[in-house]
Structure 1
């Protein structure tokens, strides 16, 4: 069985283009809770009409509700999903863990898909989403062929792969660059794409040396060199790999482009539909058409091949022109229509003095039978069975084509052509009603709001470190409630010095199935050294941590945005959780504290988590030397090497709240000081500043604490 081809529908015009050109399914936005809020999207009437249009033609419709939502927005998001379900939407894509839990409870029959915004890249994470009721999991775009095959093999849910279109530099769901720079959150559908701007890779003198990330780097495509756009990836194109994907039983292949014009959707959908139908790779002409429709310095398949490096990067010239002839031809074909019709089988009976009947079947086995006027005995020329069949075949202008017709006609009868046409139209109308009828689904009362259990006093201070040298006797003397260190660095230490709090291992933010034996061994070693807890920022951490006896704490990578997300984590066995740093103070305060909650109150907040090692791309294997990206204003964004030879881009200025007291009155149980490129001495000074309420340093930011995000 070939995979489903899923096309973008950023507008009604793009939806028609996708359907006419061969899409098996479309994904679209309706309302305020989708990750492309800048697309045209659909009005209420357009959405209802889109469902009828698609379902009549056998095309599935998926609604994108894949943004983070606040507690105040959850009811509206539920109403949106309930309305879509009642209209017959085929599935809803979800990112927010709280919304996932709410939909699964209140709309138990509505199919849910785990969005790529959930940052799932292992079979363990995919299986976790499947166990939560997701029928499909959209895995990370950075997954290689081997990664995807392993997940397809091990996960009971359908797996969706991204095959064509724009690649985000950051793992989906983990990008805060647009939010922190301009207040427009990618997790809320408002990304301003700062990754497409120019940056310069620079060394940072006087900074502590980095710890080399664990594991060998992946093979590189291209040599290190100067790149003015080190965050701008080429578009993905996996047209030559479709047979591989079919062989691994991938359920769905997704095309990106809800912000693109309908002609682009028509061209790209048409090419991929032909390739899947004919089970082949693209011709030179088809590859040229894909590139002409839209590309950034050509295409890349680097992630699919398990390779990173400078060759994956490209830009689109500001003066790039759309291919007029290609787009004009695509537009004309779509406007003419008739490219996408549903084959039906007809059986008609025309007997003298008895109502004529017509039965119509579609490929799925639905059938309708209608009757019309009784034929009369012919006074002059009788109508033949062939003439009646020819009239029934005239389905032009409808969503159907007659694949086969059989007519039982008594000789010597007469029936006006208008009566035969009316019989056909009525049958097809009833068939359309049957094909577009919404399924019966339960809508149960929403569960009661989560109970709020805020911490009554000021939060206890915790700290996360990036290097073992930051763990000094002076820092231990500050008596933090927790000290968190990357798992691989704890496991490499000889011993953990005793102190009054607890040690917590930070699990890698990104890894692959092949890394899990090593991670499990590191957990055994770290536990033997004395850690009592683990900080998990991804659903894939749960299978790794079950049975270890370690306390489970949620990290910021889980994007906890509401109290129902905390309920979800409580159900999973979490003892506490860090809240999203995209929440402003009032939202942090009002969020129901189902679990003991933590917020980051100091440090360089992570802007991006990238599969590419940006230092290696631009300067070769010099990860131990501190580097930064410098933007056009001169702001420097430090690069922190992390597990798997990946990069975490840090904000240019640290979040600083020590000179304020309002963060102490938010009901938080813990407040985290996040140390990345600080020296050991700076870590101690900052910790003491938060004890004493010291004045702010010369360069700092309040982050999103006051302003929040769109």
Structure 2
């Protein structure tokens, strides 16, 4: 049966997930998790949480899924080692260096590739499979058909998000929060600037009519609800369905887990049709939604309902419109579209404040406790930005929250126990307890000799009555074999104590069975670790120059470019004959590399392979810049250099060492790193290093066409991305973020509003990289000259990025 995997932000959430039917839970420790602001678990709590789940046959997955700096690597490994010893079932990892270290050190637990690893095609899954990963958490951008294709052609377990919040960007490839506010999603601290208002604009001679000049939440997706897709995902070969929400409440976790448990079970019940109850849909909407739900990317159709532009926070369910409002008393009147109870919470169309209904009246002004759809009611007292005609939303249901709390307030999951007792005259009491589900047994002799009964002798019925009082434990005695002599007396308190001791002993026996002891598998190898690359770069020599031309312009004379060592040209231009002359010209100016896109969708892979093959035959190319590990095998055995792009998220020298084993010849360090972290990783690097010292850093890669949404051209694409216009997103501060669309695979890249310009003399790097968007030849040469002389551009349009702030 497919696994239901629920989110756990604290111990209450753990109980709510387990008691409502989760097969597994994922939870974070006090550090290195992708939800730094969840409750999370310290060492003692983590051990306790694992014990709680395992005793109830629920697996635990640790989220160690942030990028790890050089000086944090040992601490991250120590955390993994503790969880390994506690009995964790799987560790979810983003950092490639840490992941492969764990694979070598902990061969008896599962290592899962986090969705932060941006696994989005079969090639990526096969790479992970070959490296030894047990499971890949697929990017949320995949359709069911793509998932099915991957499943049919791989053996690795596949995990898919089924419910909860969506990111507009591919996970692991969003630097927006990092670059504009210093809080990185790759470090578990995303500030969600995507959930703020944005507008779309354009410049150029061919302005188009559609872009949205009214501020809206243009990058804020609705939450995913995949109830209807469960049977298809089971048939597609998915191993695990994942609910998002480690920041959510226990009541949310309880409700969503309960409902998905119900429909997973229904999908396997061939005797019943797979029909979804409207009440269950409403319960899901009630606990949290942003303008309703969407199907995310699971459907193959272009999803114009992916984003909800009007509001970015919880909307609950619609109650109706305000027909009357008394602002002095705060009394609101409306005709209900859904039921409401005293104690429910509501919000209003133009007011973000949450109000609790403390007074509820019918149309006659009488106080009531509940009202149904179509009733005319009044409630108060509520004051704020409220007007007649405003929509009202119920964002909390008192009844639903109480039901959710009740669902985990008691122990509903029980392990069967068999008890064998010998209570004999003149002898101490012998106790044996067996737990068939865990194939475990314990036995002990209780130091008490029963005496003769004066009044009521001990009976088997009385023993059974006391031993079955296990309500607050995960155990239930279902069978007794009692060898009891006649006319014996035993105090009730003694029976209770024997029961408690027996349960404690069987519980401890089960717990100890899944604890582990770490043996250092590769201690000798680690102690003898050496660096095989010595950089020639230093503060007294000019660094070599790498130049990325994001856009080729037929109007520019590229023969005038000077002082370039490596030149990167995006893959799409190698597939367009109109640019072949420019490419040949550039091949005469420097060593030219195919620059791969961050994402290579499955339906574009074969075309990309054809372009790569013909390009290597037709042009004098030196190598390729790969932007994801899925692209490594596209160039292996081609006898060319393979450079790892910054999108591989290189934070530490261990990642560099592992990528070197995969045939990479050079790497680009992550632009998220601060000054000291760059120095640290450079010092221990086993490959030549490159650093972006100039350019507008891509801050998002999204499978969402912003122009398609604003111009209503999903069903009839107008290819406005191919016009000469330049498109941008403008934030609430007026900053403009350029975006470029790749119409080959409907991928949008959004660039930082400010240009990164940094000095590199302290970093011991080998190549200084310059990323160009629209600059003319004179400007490009000026930039190259400045970089060669380690001169930083100054002014309000330039930024140091994260150089001076520690992430």
TM normalised by structure 1 equals: 0.90
In 2 relative to 1, CA 106–310 (structure 1 residues): closer, same or farther, beyond 3 Å? same
Q: In 2, distance between residues paired with 1:58 and 1:420?
A: 28
Correspondence for 1:235 among 223, 234, 243: 223
Q: Which secondary structure does the structure 1 equivalent of 2:745 belong to?
A: coil
Aligned residue number for residue 703 of structure 1: 800
Which SS does the other structure have where 1:134 is aligned? coil
1:75-134 superposed Cα distances (whole Å, 9 cap, x missing partner)? 111111112222222222111112223333444444321111111111221222232232
State the shift of 1:9 in Å: 1.4
Partner of 1:94: 93
Counterparts of 2:693 and 2:275 in 1: how far apart (Å)? Answer: 52
Q: What residue in structure 2 maps to residue 454 of structure 1?
A: 535
CA contact (8 A) 1:640 1:648 kept: yes
C-alpha spacing 1:692/1:426, structure 2 compared with 1 (3 Å): closer
Q: Decide which of 346, 358, 363 is 2:418's aligned counterpart.
A: 346
Q: 2:703 aligns with which of 597, 611, 618?
A: 611
Q: 2:516 aligns with which of 439, 446, 452?
A: 439
Shift of the 547–173 alpha-carbon distance from structure 1 to 2, 3 Å rule, reads same
Match of 1:677 in 2: 774
Write the distance in 2 (CA, Å) between the matches of 1:161 and 1:705: 32
Question: Cα gap change, 1:296/1:575 in structure 2, threshold over 3 Å: closer, same or farther?
Answer: same
Residue 575 in structure 1 maps to residue 665 in structure 2:
yes
Higher strand share: 2
Matching of residue 649 in structure 1 with residue 750 in structure 2: yes
Q: Does 1:513 align with 2:602?
A: yes
1:346 counterpart SS class: strand
User: Deviations along 1:576-608, whole A, 9 cap, x unmatched?
Assistant: 011100112332223122100111111110010
Contact 2:543 2:788 in 1 (8 A): no
User: In the comparison of the two structures, how many residue pairs are matched?
Assistant: 690
Q: Does 1:283 align with 2:277?
A: yes
Identify if the C-alpha distance between structure 1 residues 600 and 108 changes in structure 2 by more than 3 Å, giving closer, same or farther.
Answer: same
Compared CA separation, residues 596 and 663, structure 1 to 2 (3 A): same
Provide the secondary structure at the position in 1 that maps to 2:625: strand
Q: How does 1:13-52 map to 2 (within 5 A)?
A: 13-52=12-51
Q: Distance in 2 between matches of 1:431 and 1:676?
A: 66
C-alpha separation in 1, matches of 2:219 and 2:156: 32
Give the stretch that moved more between structures: 638-647 or 348-357. Answer: 348-357
Alpha-carbon distance between aligned partners in 2 of 1:21 and 1:242, rounded to the nearest angstrom: 18
Contact in 1 for aligned 2:757/2:792 (Cα 8 Å) = no
Return the offset for 1:499: 1.4
Q: Following the alignment from structure 1 to structure 2, what is the Cα–Cα distance between the partners of residues 95 and 470?
A: 40
Larger mean CA deviation between 593-602 and 489-498 belongs to 489-498
- Post-superposition shift, 1:296? 0.2
Structure 2 counterpart of 1:392 = 467
- Which whole-Å CA distance do the structure 2 matches of 1:298 and 1:236 have between them? 9
| Deviation at residue 652 of structure 1 after TM alignment | 0.9
Q: 1:308 to 1:229 in 2, by over 3 A?
A: farther
Q: Whole-Å Cα distance in 1 between the matches of residues 212 and 122 of structure 2? A: 32
Q: Which residue does the alignment assign to 1:181?
A: 180
SS at match of 2:624: strand
1:596 maps to which of 664, 684, 688: 688
CA distance, structure 1, for counterparts of residue 794 and residue 455 of structure 2 = 102
Shift of 1:249: 3.1
Deviation of 1:136 (Å): 1.6
Is the contact made by 2:103 and 2:132 (CA closer than 8 Å) also made in structure 1?
A: yes
Look up the SS of the partner of 1:469 in the other structure. coil
Aligned equivalents of 1:228, 1:130: Cα separation in 2 = 42
Corresponding residue number in structure 2 for 1:131: 130
Aligned residue for 1:92, secondary structure, equals strand
Shift of 1:377: 7.7
Q: Shift of residue 294 of structure 1? A: 0.4
Aligned-partner SS, 1:258: coil
Q: Determine which of 213, 233, 241 is the counterpart of 1:253.
A: 241
Inter-partner Cα distance in structure 1 for 2:53 and 2:558: 66
Q: Kindly indicate whether the alpha-carbon contact (under 8 Å) linking 2:137 and 2:158 is maintained by their aligned counterparts in 1.
A: yes
- Shift, 1:364, TM fit: 3.4
Shift of 1:138: 0.8
Range 17-26 or range 278-287, more displaced: 278-287
1:332 correspondence with 2:332 = no
Distance in 1 (alpha carbons) for counterparts of 2:764 and 2:136? 35
TM-score (norm 2): 0.80
Shift of 1:4: 1.8
Structure 1 counterpart of 2:170: 171
| TM-superposition CA deviations, 1:345-372 (whole Å, max 9, x none) | 4142446457544332242323333444
Deviations 1:17-43 (A, max 9, x none): 222222222222212211111112223
1:36-86: CA deviation from partner (whole Å, max 9, x where unpaired)? 111122233322222222222222222211111111111111111112222
**What residue is the counterpart of 1:213 in the other structure?**
none
Q: SS of 2:799's equivalent? A: coil
RMSD across aligned positions (CA): 2.8
Q: CA deviation at 1:615?
A: 2.0
Give the conservation status (yes or no) of the 8 Å contact 1:99–1:564.
yes
User: 2:592 matched to 1:503?
Assistant: yes
CA distance in 2, matches of 1:53, 1:415: 36
Matching residue within 676, 697, 705 for 1:586? 676
2: CA distance, partners of 1:208 / 1:312: 25
Partner SS state of residue 609, structure 1: strand
- Partner residue in 2 for 1:463: 547
Give a deviation string over 1:682-702, Cα, whole Å, max 9, x none: 434433443466673655322
Residue deviations 1:521-544 (CA, integer Å, cap 9, x gap): 111111112223111111111232
Q: Residue 426 in 1 paired to residue 501 in 2?
A: yes
The change in CA–CA distance for 1:472 and 1:450 in structure 2 (over 3 A counts) is: farther
Structure 1: distance between partners of 2:565 and 2:641: 14
Supply the distance in 2 between the matched residues of 1:15 and 1:35 (Cα, whole angstroms): 18
In structure 1, runs of 5+ residues without a counterpart are: 210-222
Which has the larger displacement, 346-355 or 249-258?
Answer: 346-355
Residue 627 of structure 1 pairs with residue 719 of structure 2: no
2:182, 2:802 within 8 Å by CA — same for their partners in 1?
A: no
The CA distance in 2 between the partners of 1:206 and 1:683, in whole Å, is: 24
Show CA shifts across 1:191-215 (max 9, x none).
1000000111111226999xxxxxx
Q: Is the 8 A contact 1:207 1:677 kept in 2?
A: no
Of the three residues 565, 570, 589, the one matched with 1:486 is: 570
Contact kept, 8 Å, 2:705 with 2:741, in 1: the verdict is yes
Distance 2:791 2:632 in 1: 39
SS in structure 1 of the partner of residue 162 of structure 2: strand
Instruction: Give the CA deviation at 1:664.
Output: 3.7
Indicate how the Cα distance of structure 1 residues 371 and 140 shifts in structure 2: closer, same or farther if over 3 A, else same: same
Separation (CA, whole Å) in 1 of partners of 2:458 and 2:675? 80
* Residues 457, 486 of structure 2: 8 Å contact kept: yes
- Is the 8 Å Cα contact of residues 143 and 300 (structure 2) preserved in structure 1? yes
Are positions 1:304 and 2:298 aligned together? yes
**Structure 1 residues 501 and 308, CA, compared in 2 at 3 Å: closer, same or farther?**
same
1:365 is matched with which residue?
Answer: 439
Sort the Cα spacing of 1:184 and 1:206 in 2 relative to 1 into closer, same or farther, 3 A: farther
Q: Structure 2: where are the runs of 5+ without partners?
A: 268-273, 316-351, 355-394
Partners of 2:205 and 2:225 lie apart in 1 by 42
In the alignment, which residue of structure 2 is the partner of 1:523? 612
Per-residue CA distance 1:442-461 (angstroms, 9 max, x = gap): 23438246636233333211
CA distance in 2, matches of 1:432, 1:476: 76
Matched, 1:690 2:797: no
| Distance change (3 Å), C-alpha of 1:677 and 1:366 | farther
Secondary structure at the counterpart of residue 26 of structure 2 = strand
Which is greater in Rg? Answer: 2
Distance 2:411 2:746 in 1: 51
* Higher RCO, 1 vs 2 (CA within 8 Å, ≥6 residues apart): 1
